[in-house]
Amino acid sequence: MAEEKIDIQVPGHRILRQLGRGGMANVYLAVQESMEREVALKVMLPELGASDPSFSQRFVREAKIIAKLSHPHVNAVYDVGIAGPYHYFTMEYITGGDLKSRIRQGMSPKAALSILRQITSALAFAHSKGYVHRDVKPENVLFRDSGTAVLTDFGIAKTNDTASSMTATGAIMGTPYYMSPEQAMGREIDQRSDIYSLGAMVFEMFTGKVPYTGDSAISIGIKHLKDPLPQLPPPLHVYQPLLDKFLAKDPAHRFQTGEEAMAAIDALGSGANTLATSATAMNSPVRFDRTVVLDPSATTAQTVIIGTGRAKSRRGALVAAALLVPLIAGATYLALREPAAPLPIAAAPAPVPAAEVAPTSLPAEPARPARVTVEAPKQVASTEDARARKSREREQKLQGLLTRFQELVAPASFSATHAGRAQDLVGEAARLAPDDRRVRALPDRLADAYLNLATIKAEEKNYQEADTLIRRGLELRPDHRQLQALQKDVAEKQKPKRQTFGAF
């Protein structure tokens, strides 16, 4: 019945059904006939454009913004146009539902951090292109079938280009539950406003509730300005410093960029940085000022840090015990490491009767075990110190490599020149720590960087360079679907056009 009521005609598209309805536009599932693929067709309500031309301008502007943001975690735009009274554009059809629905079902902290990291990555890329989203919220985060999170709806995005701005000075746009204090006051905003909105969103992912509620948009806005920072429940206190950094009232006290926020998110997933489980380490402001590059998919490390329940707590206790080993007395250390005959007895803190130390025929030799407990622990402790020092040195070197890698592949700086050096760093890191999850993730990250740069080159019609970048990316990850799709698209565009000649 619903399909029969759709009388919209968009050339080249067959509309199947309605997917959603909004105050500015409706979204339909359609088939793009030239490519035989399903797309999401967004059609602006014609009455809006008729009453105020600025709505049409903003609608077209949204499509153009998204088209410029070719990123794995931004919804892709395929086409934009006008069909009679209808302004429309087509986007990637994403079928995995939205974040709001997943929050209602409940999610683990590990899942929340993974989603946060992906959307922060998308925003960092948008910010590098000069755009502030201004409406970051769970409803605007969708999921592909693969589970990848995608940021959508740039309808009220702000650009640094004041000449093309569609928002009047002092105008307040956004969703009150997720607005930054400066956004709620109608002040000038920058990328740090989106970072605040991310904080509000991650609080909801952790708790199932928004940070502040009220009877009106004004009362909610006042709470964003005046109320204390929301507190996570005790089992999640390890994440409070991260949340506080996102939700700082003063923009100067927040993460200043998406890259900085990603480094802090990655730090929570660090297997090497076991002090992440320590309240002292988490409460240190230095923790969020340093640059750390870690694999967000490091599930083993994250289990230690964010797991709940008895099994995870027991594993965390083992990690804490391991940190205390250097502080244990040498004799006790030997008792733990070598539970054989005389050493545990000599290492015991309480006095032990001579009869238990040696046969009664040797009562005059109680000092012999004592000499063992004094000399042996020093040797073992020295060996352990050397191992710990070597481990620290290796971790410091690895952190340096990972930090440099992140700097090279950042969307704002990645280039064909940087690509070679980044690839060298992947090899160096692999030789240094081949089993480290952060290192194993580097080829994927470099392949994504190749994808982003190749997409830009393709948009500039520099197909030869785009093809070279795609090939390099596929050498790292032959099964990278987006690189494969882009390679086909570039190859198609490089085909010479057929010429037809009339009969003589």
CATH code: domain of residue 444: 1.25.40
**Burial degree of 164 (CB within 10 A; 0-12, 13-18, 19+):** exposed
Yes or no: say if 447 and 477 are a contact pair by the CB < 8 Å rule.
Answer: yes
pLDDT of residue 332: 33
Same domain flag for 144 and 239: yes
Give pLDDT, residue 267.
Answer: 87
Closest by CA position to 13, among listed 26, 32, 27, 29: 32
Q: What is the pLDDT of residue 498?
A: 54
Is residue 31 domain-shared with residue 52, that is, in the same domain?
yes
Residues 35 and 110 in one domain: no
Tokens 């692999």 belong to 430
Question: Is residue 390 one of the residues assigned to a domain?
Answer: no
Q: What is the domain-level CATH number for residue 222?
A: 1.10.510.10
Q: Is 237 a member of any domain?
A: yes
**Among 66, 92, 118, residue at a domain's last position:** 92
Domain annotation covers residue 387: no
**Does 238 share its domain with 271?**
yes
**Do 301 and 343 lie in a common domain?**
no
d(CA 245, CA 286): 12
> pLDDT at position 358, please?
39
Of the three residues 38, 62, 92, the one that is the final residue of a domain is 92
Q: Which of 172, 198, 175, 201 is nearest to 187 (CA)?
A: 172
Please name which of 226, 230, 214, 149 lies closest in space to residue 177, comparing C-alpha atoms: 214
Is 163 found in the same domain as 111? yes
Q: Note whether 145 and 162 are same-domain residues.
A: yes
Q: What's the pLDDT score for residue 82?
A: 87
Active site includes 215? Answer: no
CA 296, chain centre distance (Å): 7
* Same-domain check for residues 123 and 216: yes
Q: Annotated catalytic residue: which of 7, 52, 79, 135?
A: 135
Q: What tokens were used for 60?
A: 């077209």
pTM of the shown model: 0.53
Domain membership of residue 228 (yes or no) is yes
d(CA 101, CA 399): 37
CA pair distance 259, 264, nearest whole angstrom: 9
**Would you give the DSSP letter of residue 143?**
E
Residues 108 and 189 in one domain: yes
Distance separating alpha carbons of residues 22 and 127, to the nearest angstrom: 26
Asked which of 51, 69, 92 is the last residue of a domain, the reply is 92
User: What pLDDT, on the 0 to 100 scale, is given for residue 311?
Assistant: 34
Find the CATH number of the domain harbouring 50.
Answer: 3.30.200.20
382 found inside a domain = no
DSSP 41-95: EEEE-HHHHHH-HHHHHHHHHHHHHHHH---TTBPPEEEEEEETTEEEEEEE---
- Domain contains 137: yes
Cα-flanking dihedrals φ and ψ of residue 293, to 5°?
A: -120, 115
Low-confidence residues in the chain, pLDDT < 50: 1-4, 162-171, 271-377, 500-504
Instruction: Tell whether 219 and 334 lie within a shared domain.
Output: no
Residues 113 and 214 in one domain: yes
On whether both 293 and 332 belong to a single domain, the answer is no
> What is the tally of structural domains in the chain?
4
Find the domain containing 230 and state its range.
99-319
Residue 333 located in a structural domain: yes
In a domain, 504, yes or no: no
